[in-house]
Amino acid sequence: MPDTTRGGDADSSRAADPAATLSPEVVAKVARLARLALGDDEVVRMTAQLAGMLAHFHDVDALDLAGVQPMSRPYEMVNVLRDDEPAPSLDRDEVLAAAPDAADGRFRVPPIVGLEG
Amino acid sequence: MAPRGAVETARAVAAGDLRAVDVLEEHLGAIRAREGEVHAFNLVTQDAARVHAAEIDARVAAGGAVGPLAGVVVALKDNMCTRGVPTTCSSRILEGWRPPYDATVVRRLAEADAVVVGKTNLDEFAMGSSTENSAFGPTRNPHDTSRVPGGSSGGSAAAVAAGMATVSLGSDTGGSIRQPAALCGLVGVKPTYGVVSRQGLVAFASSLDQIGPFARSVADAALVLETIGGHDPLDSTSIPAPAPTLGPALVEGVRGMRIGRVTDLPEGAEPEVLARLDEAVAALAAAGASIVDVTLPSLGYGLTAYYLIAPAEASSNLARYDGVRHGLRVDAPDVNAMYAATRAAGFGDEVKRRIMLGTYALSAGYYDAYYGKALKVRRLIADDFARAYGACDAILTPTSPTVAFPVGAKTSDPLTMYLCDVFTIPTNLAGHAAMSVPFGAGAHGLPVGVQVLAPALGEHAMFRVAAELERRAPAAGGR
Q: How far is B76 from chain A (nearest CA, A)?
A: 21
What is the phi-psi region of residue B338: left when phi exceeds 0, alpha when psi lies from -120 to 50, beta otherwise?
A: alpha
A 11-40 residues with CB < 8 A to B: 11, 13-15, 26-27, 30-38
Q: Do B356 and A72 touch (CB under 8 A)?
A: no
Place A2 in a pLDDT band, splitting at 50, 70 and 90: very low
Query: How many CA atoms, within 13 angstroms, populate the side-chain half-sphere of residue A55?
Result: 11
- The nearest CA of chain A is from the CA of B214 a distance in Å of 24
Say if residue A38's pLDDT is above 60: yes
Question: Which phi and psi (to 5°) does residue B147 adopt?
Answer: -115, 160
Per DSSP bridges, beta strands B211-215 and B187-190 are antiparallel
**pLDDT-based confidence at B251, cuts 50/70/90?**
very high
Strand spans (E) along B138-216:
167-171, 187-190, 211-215
- Distance separating alpha carbons of residues B338 and A35, to the nearest angstrom: 9
Q: Is the peptide bond before B436 cis (omega within 30 degrees of 0)?
A: no
Instruction: Point out which residues pair with B115 in neighbouring strands.
Output: B73
> How far apart (Å, rounded) are the C-alpha atoms in residues B362 and B319?
14
d(CA B104, nearest CA chain A) in Å: 15
Task: Please state, in angstroms and rounded to a whole number, the distance separating the CA atoms of residues B325 and B337.
Answer: 16
Of A54, A68, A74, the CB nearest to B193: A74
Q: Smallest Cβ distance to A31: which of B356, B380, B456?
A: B356
Is the per-residue pLDDT at A117 higher than 80?
no
Supply the pLDDT for residue B402.
Answer: 97
Topology adopted by domain B1-479: Amidase signature (AS) enzymes (3.90.1300)
Q: What is the mean pLDDT of chain A?
A: 83
Comparing B72-86, B168-182, B462-476, which segment has the lowest mean pLDDT? B462-476
Phi and psi at B419, nearest 5°, equal -65, -15
DSSP-assigned beta bridge partners for residue B120: B41, B77
Q: Does A78 touch chain B (CB under 8 A)?
A: no
Say yes or no for a CB contact (<8 Å) between B323 and A68.
Answer: no
**Residue of B135, B58, B437, B281 lying closest to B155 (CA atoms):** B135
**A111–B335: do the CB atoms touch at under 8 Å?**
yes
Q: Does A107 touch chain B (CB under 8 A)?
A: yes
C-beta atoms of A117 and B323 within 8 A: no
CB contact under 8 A, B336 and A117: yes
Instruction: Tell whether A81 is within 8 A of chain B (Cβ).
Output: no
- For the segment B1-29, what is each residue's pLDDT rounded down to a tens digit? 468 999 999 999 999 999 999 999 999 99
pLDDT in tens, B275-303: 999 999 999 999 999 999 999 999 999 99
Residue A8 pLDDT > 50: no
A43 lies within 8 A of chain B by CB? no
Q: Which of residues 48-77 of A touch B (CB under 8 A)?
A: 49-50, 52-54, 56-57, 59-60, 63, 65, 68-75, 77
Determine whether the interchain pair A71/B379 forms a contact, defined as Cβ–Cβ distance below 8 Å. yes
Question: Are residues A90 and B100, on separate chains, in Cβ contact within 8 Å?
Answer: yes
- What pLDDT score does A113 carry? 81
**Among B186, B183, B137, B140, which Cα is nearest to B160's?**
B186
pLDDT (tens digit per residue) in B120-132: 999 999 999 999 9
- Residue B300 and residue A94: Cβ atoms within 8 Å? no
DSSP string across B84-140: TB---TT-GGGTT---SS--HHHHHHHHTT-EEEEEE--SGGG--SSS---TT----
Distance CA B461, CA B284 (A): 13
Q: Which residues contact B322 (CB under 8 A, 6 or more apart)?
A: A35, B338, B339, B342, B343
- C-alpha to C-alpha distance for B354 and B283, rounded to whole angstroms: 41
pLDDT, one tens digit per residue, over B194-232 is 999 999 999 999 999 999 999 999 999 999 999 999 999
C-alpha distance from residue A100 to each of A94, B4, B324, B450 (Å): 13, 44, 7, 46
pLDDT of residue B168: 98
Shortest Cα–Cα distance, A110 to chain B (Å)? 5
Contacts of B417 in chain A (CB under 8 A): none
B296 vs B423: CA distance, rounded Å? 11
Active site residues of B: 77, 152, 176
Angle at B77 between CA B76 and CA B79, to 5 degrees: 120
B131 and B391 Cβ atoms separated by less than 8 Å: no
Q: Which helix (H) or strand (E) holds B462?
A: helix B459-472
In this predicted structure, the answer to whether residue B364 has a pLDDT above a threshold of 90 is no
Rounded Cα distance, B462 and B113, in Å: 27
Delimit the domains of chain B by residue range: 1-479
* pLDDT tens by residue, B337-354: 999 999 999 999 999 999
> Is residue B76 helix, strand or coil?
strand
For the whole model, what pTM was predicted? 0.95
Residue in B377, B361, B375 with CA at minimum distance from that of residue B311: B361
Radius of gyration of chain B (CA): 21
Q: What is the pLDDT of residues B24-52, one digit of tens each?
A: 999 999 999 999 999 999 999 999 999 99
Q: Which residues in chain B have their CB less than 8 angstroms from residue A63's CB?
A: 298, 301, 377, 380
B421 contacts B175 by C-beta, under 8 angstroms:
yes
Number of H helices, E strands in chain B: 16, 11
